[in-house]
Amino acid sequence: MARKRRTGHRPRRAREAVASRGPIRLWALSVALFALFVLAVGAVWAEWTGTTPRAAQTEVGTPPVVRTLRVEVVRTKPHDQDAYTQGLVWWNNQLFESAGRRDRSSLRRLDPLTGEVQQRYEVAPEYWAEGLALVDDRLFQITYTLERVLTYDRDSFSPGKTFCYDGEGWGLCYDGTRLVMSDGTERLTFRDPTTFDVIGHQTVRLRGQPLRI
């Protein structure tokens, strides 16, 4: 019986099967290379930090989640549109306002229900009034660029002592122990409410980045 001559070519069905496995092999090779890359990066990280990425995350700790709040306007009240509010203090059903603008800054006491200006003190025109805080019976009003904080008697608005500071003045509040002042950067400055001396600082960050106003 004559033998069939071998041509060196595979049958058509076999060739199709081999061709269909080509993309699968390439995909598997790609996955393997990616896995090796991840392992290599992990090894470098461990060598550099002396620990594993998971351990480093546990050691350093994850940053706290900062909640994002939305403001809902529930009521509006009349307000002098020529007064640019820079600072507000609510005390004993009274609203104190630091209204600041170039050459026309003032300190005001407002009726919180009607917005009526019940008392007003005109700040010297060289000052641009900014944040406002109340400590006992004294109001503290900082200024934008002239590095001065003006003080007043809470009831009469009579001017008191003027203090000096370095840098710009933006916001001011009182936490019951310290005055907290902002200057437009990510740093808050804590100040003595009697002398206005610096007693500490705090850098404000959001998701690890400095938070500027």
Q: Are 184 and 142 in contact (CB under 8 A)?
A: no
The CA radius of gyration of the chain, in Å to the nearest whole number, is 34
Q: Buried b / exposed e across 83-116, counting CB within 10 Å, b at 16+?
A: bbebbebeeeeebbbbbbeeeebbbbbbeeeeee
Judge whether 3 lies within some domain.
no
Whether residue 124 sits in one domain with residue 43: no
- Residues sharing a CB contact under 8 Å with residue 71, sequence separation 6 or more, in sequence order: none
pLDDT of residue 155: 98
Whether residue 201 sits in one domain with residue 114: yes
Tell me which residue range forms the domain holding 39: 15-60
Whether residue 38 sits in one domain with residue 138: no
Whether residue 174 sits in one domain with residue 112: yes
Whether residue 182 sits in one domain with residue 102: yes
Whether residue 141 sits in one domain with residue 55: no
Residue 27: in which H helix or E strand, if any? Answer: helix 12-49
pTM, rounded to two decimals: 0.69
CATH number, domain containing residue 154:
2.130.10.10
Whether residue 106 sits in one domain with residue 186: yes
What are the tens digits of pLDDT across the range 33-58? 455 454 454 544 444 444 444 444 44
Q: Residue 25 — pLDDT band, cuts 50, 70, 90? A: low
The answer, yes or no, to whether residue 174 has pLDDT greater than 60, is yes
Q: Residue 22 — pLDDT band, cuts 50, 70, 90? A: low
The span from the first CA to the last CA of the chain, in angstroms, equals 96
Whether residue 102 sits in one domain with residue 26: no
What domain count does the chain have?
2
What are the tens digits of pLDDT across the range 51-110? 444 444 444 567 677 888 999 999 998 999 999 999 999 999 999 999 999 999 999 999
* d(C-alpha 22, C-alpha 16), whole Å: 10
* d(C-alpha 15, C-alpha 123), whole Å: 93
Region 165-186: mean pLDDT is 96
Judge whether 71 lies within some domain.
no
Whether residue 89 sits in one domain with residue 36: no
- Phi and psi torsions of 199, nearest 5°: -120, 5
Whether residue 113 sits in one domain with residue 203: yes
> What's the whole-number average pLDDT of the chain?
81
Region 18-26: mean pLDDT is 49
Whether residue 186 sits in one domain with residue 103: yes
Whether residue 48 sits in one domain with residue 100: no
Judge whether 177 lies within some domain.
yes
